[in-house]
Amino acid sequence: MQISIAQELPGLPPFRQQGSYTAFVEGWALYSERLGKEVGFYQNPYSNYGRLDDEMWRAVRLVVDTGIHYKDWTRDQVLQFMRDHSSANEAYFQSEADLYIAWPGQALAYKIGELTILRLRKKAQAELGDKFDIRAFHDEVLGAGALPMDVLEKRIDAWIERTKRSTSRNLQQVLFKPSISNGF
């Protein structure tokens, strides 16, 4: 969904409409998976099982990514770790091992993206309080296409400040609005 939104943003140059920063694109995907739980789609442990199984697989990927590229694990060590810690099948393990061997930091990138978006949301909620609107936050995150995480953070910080000013301005207009009935 977020890629489609980026491709349709007016005024965004084509190279930005097709932009792909792993931390942003896949970080948003992980973040958005959490939204289903937040809104109550999972009514019991059974309906939540697939989501939890995917979370477990992502934890395995984080360990494997680090194992390969920091601890110099062999492909056999990677495969054994996957077998020991996942419910997936052997064909999946084989293809995933090759992916993580060929793409250093991929698992770390998407987890950093998810955690960054969650941190920015918590920051916005804390600073805006009752004025925080989850839909407006999501619009702001997605409203410029895929971004590096530091640029997204600056964008969200600016949105928080605009929202505060807008809220303050609206309050001033209500409090200091001239009243026709009393002659002002």
pLDDT tens for 115-156 read: 999 999 999 999 999 999 999 999 999 999 999 999 999 999
Residue 66: which residues within 8 A CB-CB, separation 6 or more?
108
- The model's pTM: 0.83
Nearest Cα to 81, choosing from 56, 105, 111, 114?
A: 56
C-alpha neighbours within 13 Å on the C-beta side of residue 127:
18
pLDDT digits (tens, 9 = 90+) for 66-122: 999 999 999 999 999 999 999 889 999 999 999 999 999 989 999 999 999 999 999
For 89: left if phi > 0, alpha if psi spans -120 to 50, otherwise beta; the answer is beta
DSSP-derived secondary structure letter, 174 = H
